[in-house]
Chain A
């Protein structure tokens, strides 16, 4: 007996003229006397929210699995770099290790990726450099999602002069190139830490999220279920946080995930230019910058931090792509 409510077989498709696929099945109807009762399935169906559906969908995507494994690994490295190496990334032994070539057989050893121009273990520095990148990426994204999300929601929901004000502000910020703006802001800091970089990027980056959020809120605001909630007498807070936010947040999640990779790249760029993080903070950007002078003699000093940066950025962009596909409302 096929079970029409089999949770393993959600009935979403994108077919023309087959809306009936959305319909639950009709087994067991033959015994149902009351014609008002459309279906009484014999087995119980699991409740599946759209989030659960998206998660189920996500889990099946190879791109998601690859990026998720990479990101989990990167986060673990960022938190506990000591788990993967005993070497001290700041220990400089110029005499013995100046631009020493990689020792490919020394797995996970200090000399695995070779040594840089100051005789420091490149392997250790790549591992320790993850912390700054991941911290900047995640913190900027969180800050941007909260401020931009709020601004976009307020603008989209209230409209009128509030919207006009916020939208003009967004336009002004949007006109400032991220890197140029960050350069100017960071120049004002004499002592630059991870947090000053986070501040600079978040200060300039919130507009992107605000735009996306405003657009999503404007669409969701038109939905009949919002009207229905108003007709029931629901207040502004309930409508915003129960009805609009959960339905408008999906595109924001997608954009934020993809942007996260961009912020990591931006941090590296700033550090490379010497205006981002400073020694003794370990950053891929700084390492790339110092390795460029020795690129002919020791390309590995440039290659490993650059590869780590690329893989990290790519992982987040891939994650964003997979999330977008899973949340695509057209599939629902």
Chain B
């Protein structure tokens, strides 16, 4: 089920090994197996009866390896934030297991849970609501020590807080100020300092930079990367921005409608995606380079994400997928390594027809691609193997066709 990077890398071609990060070769610090979180939908005021459930997270499994950054990407409503809350034990899991260093932590309560919290901390999305406006920065960052007094004895707390402020790049003299006296980027630093206070091993970052301005985003991302090295942290980095996730992650998981649809190293996902959803997602990311606009072959998905209360049968992506067959409606594809693929395309993918994208390139475009590859920025460098069982379908529909397809709310395309 998990990606064993060593084998995947062994199969990789030499020039691609350059991309290889130390991927998942250590011991897993967090093991998540078949995690499920359903929110019951109830009707009735006095006598509530369940009429259904929002399947926010529906059977997700992955490992987080010590010292790595696992990126989780997906669109709104895919369950990535719920996943973070369940991992943090802020919401009870409906089913499944979460193991921290081999010990089951889901469903823990009381002092056992409190002990686990020391090791897993969280950084929140919105720096404007994640800090108590009525507390000083010193109190906010010092609160972890009040809750866990064993971490820092009373006399040393102020020094500890000031050290933390210094670590995240804020003036230690700011200790008596209030959150509203800081900008968004600075507040996010305060939030990070609070997360670091208990010296955790795992930090779950839930969209930590998406509320920040572009120029400040980079500062915070650099800070997170720097801290990872300094404190030997493992990150789970949840975001909807694929570029940022690629920048910071060693491995990436793609979620769609409560399921993990693809999981692999960053090169495997970004350059050798085999799940149609990942491919569509990647192709839709706006690239800040107008010369790319002509040569990018964008897949425009039709319709909207179905409701997680009533997901499609079989493969959940089939309603928007151009590869969908009858089989997809009946049989749910499991997250596994497709046997028919080779090279970096071999990584976990939950698609019956997993295959890398073929991109038709004209001669001129090929030239651009090649020159890009020389500069080592080549995105989908020119490898094009055909997956054996790939149905012969046009992957990038022509503009005219796309327009016709567009807006098909639900229902299998074509």
- Give the chain B neighbours of A246 by CB distance below 8 A: 132, 134
Chain B residue at smallest Cβ distance from A220: B132
In the complex, what distance in Å separates the CA atom of A213 from the CA atom of B223? 40
Given contacts A22-B183, A38-B219, A231-B122, contact A45 B177 (CB under 8 A): yes
Question: B131 an interface residue at 8 Å Cβ cutoff?
Answer: yes
A224 touching B124, Cβ below 8 Å: yes
| Seed contacts A24-B186, A50-B180; 15 additional CB < 8 Å A-B pairs | A45-B177, A48-B178, A48-B181, A51-B134, A223-B129, A225-B132, A227-B85, A227-B130, A228-B191, A231-B117, A232-B147, A232-B198, A238-B147, A242-B143, A332-B180
B133 touching A50, Cβ below 8 Å: yes
Identify which of A38, A225, A235 contacts B170 (C-beta below 8 A). A38
Question: A72 an interface residue at 8 Å Cβ cutoff?
Answer: no
B147 touching A233, Cβ below 8 Å: yes
In the complex, what distance in Å separates the CA atom of A49 from the CA atom of B181? 9
Chain B residue at smallest Cβ distance from A19: B184
- Give the chain A neighbours of B245 by CB distance below 8 A: none
Task: Give the distance to chain A from B186, nearest Cβ to Cβ, in Å.
Answer: 6
- Give the chain B neighbours of A192 by CB distance below 8 A: none
Identify which of A34, A229, A231 contacts B169 (C-beta below 8 A). A34
Instruction: Kindly identify, within residues 324 to 361 of chain B, every residue whose CB is under 8 Å from any CB belonging to chain A.
Output: none
- Contact sample, A vs B, 11 pairs, CB 8 Å cutoff: A22-B180, A22-B183, A36-B169, A38-B186, A38-B216, A45-B181, A53-B180, A225-B133, A227-B85, A228-B194, A233-B113
User: What 4 A-B pairs are tightest by C-beta distance, nearest first?
Assistant: A36-B169, A23-B183, A224-B130, A47-B176
B88 touching A38, Cβ below 8 Å: no
- Give the chain A neighbours of B133 by CB distance below 8 A: 50, 225, 247, 332
Question: B171 an interface residue at 8 Å Cβ cutoff?
Answer: yes
B180 touching A24, Cβ below 8 Å: no
- Give the chain A neighbours of B185 by CB distance below 8 A: 38
A225 touching B147, Cβ below 8 Å: no
B114 touching A47, Cβ below 8 Å: no
- Give the chain B neighbours of A50 by CB distance below 8 A: 133-134, 178, 180
Question: A1 an interface residue at 8 Å Cβ cutoff?
Answer: no
Question: B101 an interface residue at 8 Å Cβ cutoff?
Answer: no
- Give the chain A neighbours of B177 by CB distance below 8 A: 45, 47-48
B186 touching A227, Cβ below 8 Å: no
In the complex, what distance in Å separates the CA atom of A24 from the CA atom of B117? 33
- Give the chain B neighbours of A19 by CB distance below 8 A: 184
A24 touching B181, Cβ below 8 Å: yes
Task: Give the distance to chain B from A223, nearest Cβ to Cβ, in Å.
Answer: 5
In the complex, what distance in Å separates the CA atom of A36 from the CA atom of B180? 20
Residues in B lying within 8 Å of A, measured CB to CB: 85, 88, 90, 113-114, 117-118, 121-122, 124-126, 129-136, 143-144, 146-148, 169-171, 173, 176-178, 180-186, 189, 191, 194, 198, 216, 219, 222-223, 226
In the complex, what distance in Å separates the CA atom of A118 from the CA atom of B362? 110
Question: A35 an interface residue at 8 Å Cβ cutoff?
Answer: yes
In the complex, what distance in Å separates the CA atom of A44 from the CA atom of B126? 27
Task: Give the distance to chain A from B188, nearest Cβ to Cβ, in Å.
Answer: 10
Task: Give the distance to chain A from B209, nearest Cβ to Cβ, in Å.
Answer: 14
In the complex, what distance in Å separates the CA atom of A262 from the CA atom of B188? 45
Question: A76 an interface residue at 8 Å Cβ cutoff?
Answer: no
In the complex, what distance in Å separates the CA atom of A242 from the CA atom of B114? 18
Question: A90 an interface residue at 8 Å Cβ cutoff?
Answer: no
In the complex, what distance in Å separates the CA atom of A232 from the CA atom of B198? 9
Identify which of B121, B135, B226 contacts A231 (C-beta below 8 A). B121
- Give the chain B neighbours of A23 by CB distance below 8 A: 183-184
- Give the chain B neighbours of A59 by CB distance below 8 A: none
A228 touching B223, Cβ below 8 Å: no
Task: Give the distance to chain B from A241, nearest Cβ to Cβ, in Å.
Answer: 11
Instruction: Kindly identify, within residues 113 to 172 of chain A, every residue whose CB is under 8 Å from any CB belonging to chain B.
Output: none
- Give the chain A neighbours of B113 by CB distance below 8 A: 233
- Give the chain A neighbours of B143 by CB distance below 8 A: 229, 232, 234, 242
B198 touching A40, Cβ below 8 Å: no
- Give the chain A neighbours of B118 by CB distance below 8 A: 233
- Give the chain A neighbours of B191 by CB distance below 8 A: 228
In the complex, what distance in Å separates the CA atom of A10 from the CA atom of B77? 38
A44 touching B90, Cβ below 8 Å: no
Identify which of B135, B148, B180, B189 contacts A233 (C-beta below 8 A). B148
B171 touching A37, Cβ below 8 Å: yes
Chain A residue at smallest Cβ distance from B46: A164
In the complex, what distance in Å separates the CA atom of A10 from the CA atom of B177? 13
B223 touching A36, Cβ below 8 Å: yes
Question: A187 an interface residue at 8 Å Cβ cutoff?
Answer: no
Task: Give the distance to chain B from A299, nearest Cβ to Cβ, in Å.
Answer: 51
Given contacts A224-B126, A234-B143, contact A36 B134 (CB under 8 A): no
In the complex, what distance in Å separates the CA atom of A225 from the CA atom of B219? 23
In the complex, what distance in Å separates the CA atom of A51 from the CA atom of B180? 12
Chain B residue at smallest Cβ distance from A47: B176
Task: Give the distance to chain A from B180, nearest Cβ to Cβ, in Å.
Answer: 6
Identify which of A12, A233, A234, A247 contacts B134 (C-beta below 8 A). A247
In the complex, what distance in Å separates the CA atom of A45 from the CA atom of B184? 18
Task: Give the distance to chain B from A49, nearest Cβ to Cβ, in Å.
Answer: 5
In the complex, what distance in Å separates the CA atom of A247 from the CA atom of B189? 22
- Give the chain A neighbours of B186 by CB distance below 8 A: 24, 38-39
Question: A243 an interface residue at 8 Å Cβ cutoff?
Answer: yes
Chain A residue at smallest Cβ distance from B117: A233
- Give the chain A neighbours of B223 by CB distance below 8 A: 36
In the complex, what distance in Å separates the CA atom of A134 from the CA atom of B126? 45
Q: Binary interface profile of A, 186-226, with partner B (CB < 8 Å = 1, else 0)? A: 00000000000000000000000000000000000001110
Chain B residue at smallest Cβ distance from A25: B183
In the complex, what distance in Å separates the CA atom of A24 from the CA atom of B198? 29
B219 touching A234, Cβ below 8 Å: no
Chain A residue at smallest Cβ distance from B186: A38
- Give the chain B neighbours of A229 by CB distance below 8 A: 132, 143
- Give the chain A neighbours of B194 by CB distance below 8 A: 228, 232
Given contacts A47-B176, A231-B88, contact A38 B169 (CB under 8 A): yes
In the complex, what distance in Å separates the CA atom of A5 from the CA atom of B105? 45
B169 touching A37, Cβ below 8 Å: yes
Chain B residue at smallest Cβ distance from A224: B130
Question: A91 an interface residue at 8 Å Cβ cutoff?
Answer: no
